[in-house]
Amino acid sequence: MTFDTIIRGGTVATASDTFACDVGITGGKITALGSDLGKATEIVDATGLLVLPGGIDSHVHIAQPSGPGIVMADDFASATRSAAFGGNTMVLPFAMQQKGESLRQVVKDYHAKADGQCYIDVSFHLIIADASDAVLGQELPALVHDGYTSFKVFMTYEGLALSDMEMLKVMSVARETGAMVMVHAENYDAIRFLTDRLEAAGKTETKYHGTSRPIAVEREATHRAISLAELIDVPVMIVHVSNREAMDEIARARRRGLKIYGETCPQYLILTEKDMDGLNMEGAKYVCSPPPRDKESQAACWEGLQQGIFSLFSSDHCPFRYDDPQGKLTPKGKTSFRWVPNGIPGVETRLPILFSEGVSKGRLTVNEFVALTSTNHAKTYGLYPKKGTIAVGSDADIALWDPQRQETISQTLMHGGSDYTPYEGIAVTGWPVSTMVRGQFVVRDGKLVGALGGGDYVPREKSELARPRTAL
Ligand code: URP
Ligand code: ZN
Ligand code: ZN
């Protein structure tokens, strides 16, 4: 047999095993694993490199409407290019509904933005902002059936926050359709109350973003989301968990047998609230929600990753330009932290940060790294085993890593649409040198070689993890 490609001489690592092995690829799929595989149109020398499943970043925001006068820094071309340089082969952005919009139309609009504009594969989660009977009774079940098998709900943000009644209704649809629910857990009224009070006291600098969303706000909403999910008996993923108290709510729910999953992100391992205390709006570069906390919270998030309380490590990439009134500097007159768009870039730095701080520093095995950054994302969102592993029959979505390479993260190394990285100056050991999607290199030895439009939209199955505990 002649393969299209053989990746030869590398060390393959999956979520469960590490082994010296060549990888044979035909027609975009992995068709053989072994030694002496024979001939191929192209032999790729991976000596000294790790051969890992490409990263799947299941929490990114791309080209999402972000309020009057604010523009997100990435379109699908720049976000997926940046993701590819960061060792990713697939991203799952959101198709965000706004009140009054048809969900089906929203999905069409996002396809119009994404189709033919991606370097790596994509699939959409939905965001449900309008829990009307028409949306929940007809559009949502039909979309789940069509492969949009997960959706996010917000317990905060103007125009997005759902009431408990609406959350319960949405969760019931998830239970009936087998979709996975992602929850942004922060108490909206508490944030509004604290924000008003801070502003009345003249406390408007960016550092007060953190003060307006303390840990109790996240812990309470996490507890409430879990309680609502328990009432309906539906699995949920609590996204972007930032601290021990919220994490403990998840751990406690799991000890009680509930299917409650957790995700954390690089900002909660690397940044603290002090980063938001910059002069001249510099702190705006780090404004995201939930906000970065303190060193103890960072330690807690590491424990959550090591103990499996968090099964996903995602970027929550939500990029705005810093030096730009359409970005973090906000239009004239809007000087309070209230108006700074929430979100930071991170799709390109997620994997190098976790590899370096996790694997290179001995906190995680390479197999845990693969699980947290690729395999578990595929399993959680109905993509496994097509995506998220190196196995015969799986898509040949592969990242080649140099585990010894030392780099210092800097905006000059980035390939996205933002004008800064919140991780400027962080030294890392371990770097993705090449990324291949369905057998085709997108990035090769640090150079973009893939074609715009080479990334496909991927409809998804229902996740095994989204199955309720009891029969319908
Ligand atoms: O600040 C954040 N995280 N922005 C992105 C939107 C979200 O809530 O995930
Ligand atoms: Zn969120
Ligand atoms: Zn997000």
Amino acid, single-letter form, for residue 359: V
Q: What is the DSSP string of 274-301?
A: GGG--GGGGGGGG--SSPP--HHHHHHH
In tens, the pLDDT along 12-70 reads 999 999 999 999 999 999 999 999 999 999 999 999 999 999 999 999 999 999 999 99
342 pocket-lining for ligand 1 (C-beta < 6 Å): yes
In 3D, which of 128, 384, 380 has the Cα closest to residue 259? Answer: 380
CB 97, CB 125: distance < 8 Å: no
- Band (pLDDT 50/70/90 cuts) for residue 208 is very high
Q: How many whole angstroms separate alpha carbon 283 and alpha carbon 278?
A: 4
Q: How many whole angstroms separate alpha carbon 334 and alpha carbon 332?
A: 6
318 pocket-lining for ligand 1 (C-beta < 6 Å): yes
Q: How far is CA 104 from CA 126, 150, 338, in A?
A: 10, 14, 31
Mean pLDDT to the nearest integer, 89-108: 98
317 pocket-lining for ligand 1 (C-beta < 6 Å): no
pLDDT at 230: 98
**Angle of the 295-307 helix axis to the 244-255 helix axis, nearest 10:** 30
Beta strand segments in 61-212, E: 88-96, 121-122, 125-127, 150-154, 180-184
| d(CA 278, ligand 2 centre) in Å | 24
Strand, helix or coil for residue 23: strand
| d(CA 61, ligand 3 centre) in Å | 6
- Band (pLDDT 50/70/90 cuts) for residue 364 is very high
| d(CA 260, ligand 3 centre) in Å | 18
Percent of the chain with pLDDT over 70: 100
φ and ψ at residue 15, rounded to 5 degrees? -70, -15
pLDDT at 333: 79
Which residues is 263 bridged to in the sheet? 312
186 pocket-lining for ligand 1 (C-beta < 6 Å): no
Q: With a cut of 90, say whether residue 133 has pLDDT above it.
A: yes
61 pocket-lining for ligand 1 (C-beta < 6 Å): yes
From the CA of 154, give the closest atom in ligand 1: 8
Atom 2 in ligand 1: residue holding the nearest Cα: 343
pLDDT at 99: 96
Mean pLDDT to the nearest integer, 170-178: 98
Q: How many whole angstroms separate alpha carbon 293 and alpha carbon 299?
A: 11
Strand, helix or coil for residue 443: strand
| d(CA 248, ligand 2 centre) in Å | 19
pLDDT at 75: 98
Mean pLDDT to the nearest integer, 328-354: 93
From the CA of 289, give the closest atom in ligand 1: 1
Q: How many whole angstroms separate alpha carbon 245 and alpha carbon 215?
A: 7
218: tokens are 């996240």
Which residues is 395 bridged to in the sheet? 29
Atom 4 in ligand 1: residue holding the nearest Cα: 343
Q: With a cut of 80, say whether residue 403 has pLDDT above it.
A: yes
| d(CA 310, ligand 3 centre) in Å | 16
CB 90, CB 338: distance < 8 Å: no
pLDDT at 350: 99
CB 386, CB 123: distance < 8 Å: no
In 3D, which of 198, 187, 62, 223 has the Cα closest to residue 127? Answer: 62
Q: With a cut of 90, say whether residue 278 has pLDDT above it.
A: no
Q: With a cut of 80, say whether residue 374 has pLDDT above it.
A: yes
| d(CA 157, ligand 1 centre) in Å | 10
Q: With a cut of 90, say whether residue 203 has pLDDT above it.
A: yes
- Band (pLDDT 50/70/90 cuts) for residue 4 is very high
From the CA of 184, give the closest atom in ligand 1: 8
- Band (pLDDT 50/70/90 cuts) for residue 330 is confident
From the CA of 287, give the closest atom in ligand 1: 1
- Band (pLDDT 50/70/90 cuts) for residue 445 is very high
316 pocket-lining for ligand 1 (C-beta < 6 Å): yes
In tens, the pLDDT along 279-327 reads 778 999 999 999 999 999 999 999 999 999 999 999 999 999 999 999 9
CB 228, CB 168: distance < 8 Å: yes
- Band (pLDDT 50/70/90 cuts) for residue 435 is very high
Testing ligand 1's pocket by substitution, the residue of 57, 59, 61, 184 carrying the most ligand atoms inside 8 A of its CB is: 61
pLDDT at 334: 83
Q: With a cut of 80, say whether residue 331 has pLDDT above it.
A: no
Domains of the chain, first to last: 55-363 (3.20.20.140)
pLDDT at 44: 98
Q: How many whole angstroms separate alpha carbon 359 and alpha carbon 313?
A: 14
Ligand located closest to 213 CA: 1
CB 88, CB 57: distance < 8 Å: yes
Testing ligand 1's pocket by substitution, the residue of 289, 317, 344, 418 carrying the most ligand atoms inside 8 A of its CB is: 289
328 pocket-lining for ligand 1 (C-beta < 6 Å): no
Q: With a cut of 90, say whether residue 229 has pLDDT above it.
A: yes
Q: How many whole angstroms separate alpha carbon 275 and alpha carbon 321?
A: 17
In 3D, which of 350, 386, 368 has the Cα closest to residue 463? Answer: 386
| Higher per-residue confidence, 335 vs 251 | 251
Count CB atoms within 10 A of the CB of residue 146. 12
Atom 5 in ligand 1: residue holding the nearest Cα: 343
Mean pLDDT to the nearest integer, 373-377: 98
Q: What is the side-by-side strand order in the sheet with 427-437?
A: 18-20, 11-13, 50-53, 398-408, 427-437, 440-444, 447-448
289 pocket-lining for ligand 1 (C-beta < 6 Å): yes
What residues have their beta carbon closer than 5 A to ion ligand 3? 316
419 pocket-lining for ligand 1 (C-beta < 6 Å): no
| d(CA 83, ligand 2 centre) in Å | 19
The four Cα atoms 266, 272, 278, 283 give a dihedral, to 10 degrees, of: 40
The four Cα atoms 442, 445, 449, 452 give a dihedral, to 10 degrees, of: 40
152 pocket-lining for ligand 1 (C-beta < 6 Å): no
